[in-house]
Amino acid sequence: MKLIVKAILFISLFQISVMTYAQTLPFRSVAITVSPEIRNSFVTGGRLLLYVSREREREPRDHADVKFGFTLKNWDGASPFVLEATDKGILHTDLAEGFIPVPKKFYYQAIYKQNVDDALADIPGNLVTRVDSVEVNGPVNLTLKLNTVIAPFKIVENKFVKPIVIQSKLLSGFSGHPRYLKASVLLPASYFDNPGKSYPICYHVPGLNGRYEGVNGMMANKSFSEWWFSKKAPQIIYVFLDSQGPYGDSYQVDSENNGPCGKALTEELIPEIEKQVHYHKDSGKRYLAGASTGGWVVLGLQIFYPDFFDGAWAYSPDPVDFEHYGLINIYKDESAFYNRFDYLQPESRTIYGEPKGSMKDAILDEDVLSRTNDYRVSGEQFGAYNAVFGPRGKDGLPTMLIDPVTGKIDHSIAVQWEKYDLKKVLEKNWSTLGPKLQGKIWIWTGDMDMLYSNVATRFLKMYLDKTENPKSDAKISFTPMAGHCAEWSDVAVLNRVAEKAAKK
């Protein structure tokens, strides 16, 4: 049974159609206040996100059936703000399949997005309400109190874990205010027994919007932790990078919108890390590993900085060829919402090929999260792509490759994405890049990748298989019926890194 939900007035009316059955969930208004104890932390002009859920097992911000977004442009936080039924500029996502019509008890929670250096919602510096509930049997008025500032990430305290945070002169200069680079370093078991020794070093790039506290999960994983401190583990320094960017994941590369992120990584953060851990930069044992977004990033960094890095292991990388951006050719297709057969363009699938979501719905979901009412400041996947790969607009925000309403692709913008199209970069520069990349590229993906990214990787392999002078020795493998990142393993990757390092 398919549910279609259309918001006529923000939180004043849900119109739910279930086949021939219709039911409404009326909300008249929402009153928002800021607790006095956190008012000094309030920043005007943020995006209010209201999460509504039928379940209580998880907080609504972690599992919402529907999300509403509204930008509070002129609110100073000192007095209550009331959203009326007539307020415009409100966006919403569709309700989840199986959402139960009223009368029903619903749980709700709100986040106020105000961190200008991080477009995500549930991150440090933003404000959040407690979870509340309401019995919906007729028109109701909701009240929200923003009473908590989301706290900064904390890195686990351990002798073998070293957090590193530095202010970036490059990024601060670009943005006109302080911006920081972060990483957490996991030291090998023998590190303190060998002062001054230069160990191989592997930079782990997280998946979409991953943060440097990823080391916390590794240390909490009993199996990994026991292995890491056993005699079986390779003696490698494992560094967890942070992908924070003002529009979502920075992808660790220079861009018009995020600033010189690649330069800051290679000229500021990595030198500082390696200074602190006594890595000898002339040892030739500086490696990269990552999956999903991290898979694209490590491959991109190896290609853009072929002499700086000594090998990259990429699992299920994001599209490496924009002629196959999922199932879309951004250079030729007219629409991102409908394919050449005029069918709704799928964005994700199961490993059995069943479409789970459409590009149209994926873009709408990101529109809801963005203070601009389009995906540019969503902080999520396409907002990040758009900011990293596209040019900066006259308003200082990223230009849009895809029209958020019609899905029309702007081919003048698509052309400007080419410098991040890894297949095109290799095609145009193989005579100089080819020799420098020998023995440095390993890629794995499942042939039923959730986001169809395996298609782009297939075409990259077809190109590399035909290269000459030199003939590429990139190792690219596919597993039938395997999904996104299905074979990623920190242990396996670190063992492969150790094997390569031993040959130096």
Q: Do 98 and 8 lie in a common domain?
A: yes
pLDDT at 92: 83
In a domain, 257, yes or no: yes
Q: Using the predicted structure, report yes or no on whether residue 140 has a pLDDT greater than 90.
A: no
Q: What is the mean pLDDT of residues 309-320?
A: 98
Q: How many domains does the chain have?
A: 3
Ranked by mean pLDDT, the top range of 5-9, 81-85, 181-185 is 181-185
Helix (H) or strand (E) holding 498: helix 490-502
Distance CA 88, CA 252 (A): 37
Mean pLDDT of the chain: 91
Rounded Cα–Cα distance for residues 453 and 319 (Å) = 5
Could you tell me the CA-to-CA distances from 280 to 13, 98, 120, 270 in Å, in that order? Answer: 63, 58, 36, 12
SS3 at position 379: coil
349 and 395 part of one domain = yes
Q: Do 136 and 207 fall into the same domain?
A: no
Tell me how far apart the alpha carbons of residues 312 and 289 are, in angstroms, rounded to a whole number.
6
Calculate the CA 346 to chain-centre distance. Answer: 19
pLDDT band at 73 (very low <50, low <70, confident <90, very high): confident
Instruction: Please state, in angstroms and rounded to a whole number, the distance separating the CA atoms of residues 487 and 482.
Output: 8
When pLDDT is averaged across residues 6-14 and rounded to a whole number, the result is 31
**Same domain, yes or no: 308 and 455:** yes
Task: Report residue 101's pLDDT band, with 50, 70 and 90 as the boundaries.
Answer: low
C-alpha–C-alpha distance, residues 443 and 461, integer Å: 10
How much is the pTM? 0.92
DSSP, collapsed to helix, strand or coil, labels residue 175 as helix
Give the integer Cα–Cα distance in Å for 249 and 260. 14
Find the range with the poorest average confidence among 140-144, 308-312, 438-442: 140-144
Q: Rounded CA gap, 236 and 104, in Å?
A: 55
Task: Please report, as a single letter, which amino acid is at residue 154.
Answer: K
C-beta of residue 417 within 8 angstroms of C-beta of residue 385: no
**Per-residue pLDDT at 55:** 85
- Asked if residue 290 lies in contact with residue 248, where contact means CB atoms within 8 angstroms, the answer is no
Final residue before a domain boundary, out of 399, 419, 439: 419
Output the six-digit token pair for 296: 């694209």
33: containing domain: 3-149
Q: Specify if 378 maps to a domain.
A: yes
Residue 154 lies in a domain: no
Q: Residue 365 corresponds to which tokens in the numbers above?
A: 């979901």
pLDDT at 100 over 90: no
- Quick check: 288 pLDDT over 80? yes
Cα angle: 452, vertex 306, 386; to 5 degrees: 40
- Residue 265 is given by DSSP the state I
Instruction: Tell me if 412 sits within 8 A of 390, measured CB to CB.
Output: no
Which of 129, 149, 169 is a domain's end point? 149
Single out the residue in 371, 399, 419 at which a domain terminates. 419
pLDDT number for residue 99: 58
